[in-house]
Structure 1
Amino acid sequence: MDSVEAAVVVGVDGSESAHAAVRLAAAEAARWHRPLRVVHAFIWPSLHTPVTPGTDGPAGGGLRGQAKRLVTAAVDEAQATAPHLRVTGEIIDGAPTGVLLDAATGAALLVLGDRGLGGFTALVVGSVAVTVAAHARCPVLVARGTVRPDGPIVVGVDGSELSRRAVEFAVRTAALRGATVVATHAYRHPVSTGPGDMQPLVYDESQLQAEEERALAESVTGLTERYPDVPIRRESVHGRAPKVLTEASRAAQLLVVGGQGRGELTGLLLGSVSRSMLHHSHCPVAVVRAPG
């Protein structure tokens, strides 16, 4: 999070998921001593719908009046969560994805619910959250799962540049929360599965694990000196990254992942691991593509 004036932005649509996002965003903005900006995308003008009493209507009525009340309620909820927080609210004409991506430019953090109004119940994560997390120019925090005041901040590590950014974001956040960071690296090198398995003759598991441990140690190089009060624990776990991180999220207060990891196709702006975490994490998820 660079500029001191950069705000935390939260998108609201009146859903219960958005209410959770407002509370999470207010708490985070208070920790970072940032203002909070509540944004609602009002889509009707972009649909070229004629203005009628049922849409804009008289002052305080119609859909725009409803949107104003929605934003006012979100601002009130944020201030109830963090009484000394500077909070502003606004309605911006346009589709949610475009409005939120514009709002993310120059923001310190963008906070969203995991599913908004109108989403199919089969979609655990709404398309807006996935798309915005893939393209936003700031870290994106998605409210989902259980918000825990304790537990570690778990960050997925794979040696990529975005992974390094994710680790730094996790450590900086932990410094403000008084939390421990668990830097978790999942690897899938073959191991012996039983008698007669020839893999140990080809792969030295102890050597491979040592290499993974070195890569994991490199991911936190310099951070322990910059944040001496933040305990950083390193865990190298044999297994698929989505499964390992999902399990780790059960006891975590926050899960942090890079937007695209090592070995993923550059055309996939949101990597398979981070997308999986948005669907399956048991706690809020921060997706870091851009420096925060």
Structure 2
Amino acid sequence: MQKTFVNREHIARSISQQTKLPITQTTKVLEAIEEEIVELLKAKGKVTLNGFASFYIVERKSRMIRQIRTKKPQLLLPRKVIKLRGVPNFKKFLASRNANRKSPALSTKKPPVKIKKTENIIKKPASPLELPPLKIFPPIEKEKIQKKIRERLYHLAQKLSREETKPKPVTQPPEKQVFIALIKQIKKDGIENLRFSLNEKEFVDIFYSRPQKLIARLPQKIVKQFLKEHLDIDQFSLPQERFALLSKNDKIYLQAHLIPTIEGASVYLKLSNPK
């Protein structure tokens, strides 16, 4: 909708057409009304035209504004402004004008939406804390407990004393048992000379020296442990010779010769009977 601006001349011409008065007179009447309203506002601060509107003065506080062209802030000083307030008849007229301008689609009232009432959620009170039943222990008799402790200690001391009097069986390490069992078996078969090499390999091949024949293959750990425990050979980088009694019952003596080599050591083991 195109806006139309009305000035004093338009109003004077419109009044002249309605009252059949010359336009000069209607213009003077308008000027007189304006001057009278201004004088009354200066004197009383408010002018009410019954059935039309009320004019009143409002004081505005100072505030900061920004100029449109220069974009610089500027302080706007406090000032008085004339405002217009329509009377009820004038307001009804404006409301009817606005209602006529609305489209029929917007003016139709929609049926009210029914809102379901939500049930009030009542929170159940928390259940009381359930504590386990109290256990009531019988009173402790200190003397009875001390008596039981003394009895247990006494029986334990007797048991230990009986075990100490028993002769303990002499058991040899498993490394010795394996190698000794092998030597005893070889001695029964009539073999008296053994030869083997110690190197970085995991197993040791044991040969009968004359003629050379593979008799057994044992882990090197077992062989070295036997040499250390029974013949006191623990350094394999030096030439050594050892003599030891393997078993009194079987009457077997061992005579060991160790010769260092590039890869490790060569061991010659001779089995003999005591004279």
Whether TM-score is above 0.5 comes out as no
- Greater RCO between the two (CA within 8 Å, min separation 6)? 1
TM-score, with structure 2 as normaliser: 0.18
Higher strand proportion? 2
TM-score, normalising length: structure 1:
0.17
Larger radius of gyration: 2
